[in-house]
Structure 1
Amino acid sequence: MFFVSNCDSQKEIKTISTKELKTLIAEEKIQLLDVRTPDEIEKGHIKSAIFINYFDDNFSEISNKLLDKNKSVYVVCRSGNRSTKACKILKEEGFEVVNVLGGYNQWEKEN
C-alpha cells in the first residue's frame, strides 16, 4: 500500500464560522478581506471588509499593499472555495490567515 500524507501543520489553514466572525467583528477591529468580484459585492457585503478581487491578475501585489502582515487576515468569498485558494496565496506571502467557512452566503443566511 502507498499512502500520501499532507501533515505539514504550517500549511494548515485555520477556519472559523460566520457566527464566530460576527462575534469577532463586534468585539474588536479585525482585518477582514472579501475576495469576491465587484458584481458580487454590489449585491451585498460585510461593512468592515476590505475588497480585493481574487481573479485580479495582481491579487498578491494588491494584497501586500493593502493588508497588514502584523494582523491576522480573515478571508471571505461567496461560499468558501475562493477564500480557501486566496488563503493559500496569502499564507505563501507571509500572512497569518483564517478562512471563513460558508462565505458570504452563510453570513447572509444568519444575518
Structure 2
Amino acid sequence: MPIRMISAAELREKLKKEENVFLLDVRAKEKFSQFHIEDPRLEVRNIVKTEIFKAEASTEDKIQFLPDDKEVIVTCTTGNSATKCAKILADKDYNVVVLEGGITAWKKLIKENE
C-alpha cells in the first residue's frame, strides 16, 4: 500500500483547522535543534531515523513516544528518510503520512509567505 503524502501547504491548512496534530521529525538531533516546525497546535517529537530503522527489526509492535491512536506526520530534510520510516511505521500499524519535500518544502512555503 503506498504511503500517503501531505504537502507543506496542506499541513499549514491542517494546522489552521485541527488541534493536537502529531509530527515526527526523523532528522539528526543537531538538524532538529537548528530548525523544526513549530505551531501551538502541533506536538513535535524528534526520533532519529536510525531508531526507527532499529524498530523495523524489533518484535515490538509499538514504538515508545509515538501515538497509536492518531495520525503521525513524518518529516525529514527532503522526504526520502521520512518515506522509509513511514513504511516501517505503517507495517507496525501506525496511521502515517509523509510531509512531501520535508523541512525543505516547509521552509520554502514559509519564505514564499513572508
What is the TM-score of this pair, normalised by structure 1? 0.81
User: 1:24-63 maps to which residues of 2 (within 5 A)?
Assistant: 24-28=14-18, 29-47=20-38, 48=42, 49-56=44-51, 60=55
Cα deviation code 1:23-54 (max 9, x no counterpart) = 11222121111111011112200123211100
Partner of 1:70: 69
Distance 1:58 1:14, change over 3 A: closer
- Higher Cα Rg: structure 1 or 2? 1
C-alpha contact 1:87 1:97 (8 A) present in aligned 2: yes
Moved over 2 A (4+): 56-61
Considering only aligned residues, what root-mean-square deviation do their CA atoms show, in Å? 1.8
C-alpha contact 1:90 1:97 (8 A) present in aligned 2: yes
Looking at structure 2, the residues matched to 57 and 30 of structure 1 have their Cα atoms a distance apart, in angstroms, of 20
Structure 1 unaligned regions, length at least 5: 1-10
- Number of aligned positions between the proteins: 100
C-alpha contact 1:37 1:55 (8 A) present in aligned 2: no
> % of aligned pairs identical?
33
Looking at structure 2, the residues matched to 56 and 26 of structure 1 have their Cα atoms a distance apart, in angstroms, of 31
Structure 2 unaligned regions, length at least 5: none
Looking at structure 2, the residues matched to 64 and 57 of structure 1 have their Cα atoms a distance apart, in angstroms, of 8
Equivalent position SS for 1:15: strand
Distance 1:57 1:107, change over 3 A: closer
**1:85 and 2:69 equivalent?**
no
Looking at structure 1, the residues matched to 33 and 65 of structure 2 have their Cα atoms a distance apart, in angstroms, of 20
